[in-house]
Amino acid sequence: MQAAVFNWDDVRFFLTVHREGNLARAGASLKLDPTTVGRRISSLETRLGARLFDRTSHGYRLTAAGTRLLPRAERIEEEALAVERDVAGTDQRLQGRVRLSATEMLTTRFIAPRMSAFYEQYPDICVELVCTNRDINLARREADIALRLARPDHEDLVVKKLFTIELGFFCRPEYIEQFGMPPQSGEWAGHRVVMFAEGRPFRRENAWMEDHLRDASCVLRSDSVSSIYSAAVGGLGVALLPCEVADNDPKLVRVPFDGAPAPRSAWQAVHRDLRHSARIRAVLDFLGGLVTPRARPSGPPRG
């Protein structure tokens, strides 16, 4: 009888189904049809002569055999990914794909508007932008580089603080014409503010706004900074926005205010095995120049 063969593709399918919990999510992760994923798992089980998953109404759950296989599959994955990173890390060609993960705000307001200049310099490098707040696993090659607003602390990462993001209040000039200039401190009765969604990612900014903007009317909350930005540009109300971007937007004016929440820091992370790849270095250098130090306005804020 021919011995069962357990290869890297088998590992990918097995681990993805385990981690995602069902065929639909596993298929999306693998960029395959869920039926194809199901056939691959069934074929693997047939070749191994053991059922690896219980198919339940709540998804795919590991059997005893699957549980025994899991640590071995994870070790195979670690070695295979290490080989991929090692080869990619020595590639000195300025061509190919670089997968960059960043929050939506960093992607839409800082990175994407400057990509034209990067492409002019490196026309053979394709940057794939992944907008997510999820903690990306760089060791598993979910991305090559991650840009985050909290310092990554995973092992084997080279982490660098790129820049700080100062926040200020902004609105359309027409808002001030209609409602008047909000006071620099104290009561904001009669004024409309756009706030962040309640939750851990924005807890610091929301707490600061609630402490300082007494009696203001909250007219919108969103977990998307770009949506909040668009609402301010649309004239809905006053919003707390990145000064680096909003100060240069002719549709917005700065609202003077006594104080501001603590600035956010943008952190760059790359797996140490990839940091010497030429195309990775090109993107890292590009990210390092996204924001250049600038002098604070000498006069009163605009508006």
Can you give the length of the chain in residues? Answer: 303
> Does 301 have pLDDT greater than 50?
no
303 falls in which pLDDT band (50, 70, 90)? very low
In Å, the largest CA–CA distance within the chain is: 84
Q: Just give the CATH number of 8-89.
A: 1.10.10.10
Domain with CATH 3.40.190.10 in the chain: 96-163+264-288, 167-255
Report the pLDDT averaged over residues 174-181: 95
Domain with CATH 1.10.10.10 in the chain: 8-89
> How many Cα neighbours within 13 Å face the side chain of 38?
11
pLDDT of residue 227: 93
CA-CA distance, 187 to 236, in Å (whole number)? 19
pLDDT tens-place string over residues 94-114:
888 999 999 888 999 889 999
CA-CA distance, 203 to 233, in Å (whole number)? 24
Q: Just give the CATH number of 167-255.
A: 3.40.190.10
> Does 81 have pLDDT greater than 80?
no
Strands 59-62 and 53-56: antiparallel
Check residues 64 and 6 and name the one with the higher pLDDT.
64
* Domain 96-163+264-288 superfamily per CATH: Periplasmic binding protein-like II (3.40.190.10)
pLDDT of residue 11: 87
Asked whether 82 and 273 are in contact (CB, 8 A), the reply is yes
pLDDT tens-place string over residues 257-294:
998 999 999 999 998 888 888 899 999 999 998 886 54
Check residues 191 and 6 and name the one with the higher pLDDT.
191
The chain-wide mean pLDDT, for the chain, equals 87
| CA 289 from centre of chain | 19
